[in-house]
Amino acid sequence: MRFKPGKIALAVAAPVFAAVFSLIVSSASLLATNKSPREAFALMWEFGSGAGSLMEAVNLATSYYIAAIAIALTFRAGLFNIGVEGQLRLGSLFAAYFGAMIVLPPVLHILAIFIIAMFVGGLWAAIAAYMKVKRGVSEVISTIMLNSVAGGLSAYLLSKHFMVKVEGSNDLATKPLPASGQFPDLMPVLKKLGVEEQPGGGVYGMLIIAIILGIAFWFVVNRTRFGFELRSSGMNPIAARVSGVNSKKMTFIALVASGAIAGLAGLPTLLGDTHSYTLGFRGGVGFTAIAIALLGRNSAVGMAISAMLFGFLEVASRTLELIDIAPETYVIMQGSILLSAVIAYEVVRRYQLTLQSHALAKAGDK
């Protein structure tokens, strides 16, 4: 393959444009409240690039990444699973409840929890999948409605059936997982690699699972027959059907598999940190993950970078409170990155098409 600087420049153009645009928007919103953007960004960088903050960012990114993979899987099949939020919630709740009930040796216990979470998440997504395939209901609407239903259902189950009383606390929480059901931290490994221990820091062991999932996602979607059928039924359902792909079946499988992966997305926190499900457990992950999947263009590497970026912004912006800036600034940054990136990708795609047709026209002239 010949090295083409123009092609690489085009590929980088969209993310760079998005980053610059987001800097401008967030600077403008800071200036509007009479704050110095330079001071704010410098402080964020200083705090955010510390080892402790980076570890926290990685931990946040682990959940985001798994959830983003779930969404990307449906995007690749031409679908949109907005229901990750609900699938994650129910998957985590049932995993926490039944995980604390069963007695198993260490590795098997975690495996069992994985299976419970994936089963529940997949089952919840199967409702939307069934409605899509059999009744023609748009999965966009049905998964959003199922999010609200999952919110009510999980609150009900937690407060009426799954909750245990904790001495001196008003928190609604499930029974904590026993040690065999907790995912070991990566800190001991990192220490051997020369990373110093941070107060309150640590890296979830689930990071490894997330990386494996990412690799598996890339392999299955891009290198297997199943992945080809999935993508073709997304890109052109009619062509897919003509070439023998059962696009209804692919729709069903894609949504259910997505739900199963989404069920896992709450586990980094559950198995690595809280060890029990509480009322406000990891709210909003499913929606942030949509942004990450869009920003990362549904590619395993792209989503990993975006997940890290979002995690970094979220952690680093906490320090802004020190200089009296609302920490919610990160939402503005994430939002403007998302919107400008989505537009920039489309502009670049159109420009590439124009270049192609010019090249074709030239070739035709000869």
- Write the Ramachandran bin of 224: left for phi over 0, alpha for psi from -120 to 50, otherwise beta: beta
Residue 148 vs 246, nearer CB to another protein:
148
The three-state secondary structure class of 87 is helix
| 3-class secondary structure, 278 | strand
- Name the helix (H) or strand (E) containing 249: helix 247-264
If one asks whether residue 287 binds another protein (CB under 8 A), the answer comes out as: yes
Least distance between another protein and beta carbon 155 (Å)? 4
Of 23, 104, 115, 140, the residue at the interface with another protein (CB under 8 A) is 140
Smallest gap from residue 218 Cβ to another protein (A): 22
Among the residue ranges 51-59, 153-161, 176-184, 228-236, the one whose residues contact another protein (CB under 8 A): 153-161
Our CB check for another protein shows the closer of 102 and 140 to be 140
CB of 79 to another protein, least distance (A): 10
Name the residue among 347, 337, 329, 273 with its Cα closest to residue 305: 337
C-alpha closest to that of 75 among 353, 295, 249, 335: 295
Amino acid 9 reads A
Cα separation of 135 and 142, whole Å? 11
Count the alpha carbons within 13 Å of 345 in the hemisphere toward its beta carbon.
12
153 binds another protein (CB under 8 A): yes
Give SS3 for 81.
Answer: coil
Cβ atoms of residues 88 and 114 within 8 Å: no
Closest CA to 97 of 30, 51, 164, 13: 164
Per-residue binding letters, 339-358, with another protein (x by CB under 8 A): x--xx--xx--x--x-----
Instruction: Give residues with Cβ within 8 angstroms of 183, minimum separation 6.
Output: 110, 204, 205, 206, 267, 268, 271, 272
Q: What share of the chain is helix, strand, coil (3-state, %, to 5)?
A: 75, 0, 25
Compute the least distance from the CB of residue 197 to another protein, in Å. 34
Find the shortest distance in angstroms from Cβ 364 to another protein: 18
Least distance from another protein to the Cβ atom of residue 131, Å: 5
Subset of 67-106 contacting another protein (CB under 8 A)? 80, 82
Among 104, 144, 187, 208, binds another protein (CB under 8 A): 144
Q: Which of 44, 90, 125, 131 binds another protein (CB under 8 A)?
A: 131
Distance of closest approach, residue 62 Cβ to another protein, in angstroms: 20
* Residue 52: CB minimum distance to another protein, A: 25
Residue 135 interacts with another protein (CB under 8 A): yes or no:
yes
Say how far apart CA 256 and CA 253 lie, in whole Å: 5
Per-position x/- string for 248-277, each x denoting binding to another protein as judged by CB under 8 A, each - no binding: ------------------------------
- Judge contact between 171 and 93, C-beta under 8 A: no
Q: Which stretch binds another protein (CB under 8 A): 16-24, 90-98, 105-113, 324-332?
A: 324-332
Position among 20, 31, 51, 138 found at the interface with another protein (CB under 8 A): 138
324 scored as a contact of another protein (CB under 8 A): yes
For residues 68 and 83, give the distance between their C-alpha atoms in angstroms, rounded to a whole number.
12
Mask for 154-183, x = binds another protein (CB under 8 A): -xx--xx-----------------------
Q: Length of the chain in residues, anyone?
A: 366
Residues 6+ apart with CB under 8 A from 173: 163, 164, 166, 276, 277, 278, 279
- List interacting residues with another protein (CB under 8 A): 29, 33, 80, 82, 131, 134-138, 140-142, 144-146, 148-149, 152-153, 155-156, 159-160, 287-288, 290-291, 294, 324, 326, 328-329, 331-332, 334-336, 338-339, 342-343, 346-347, 350, 353
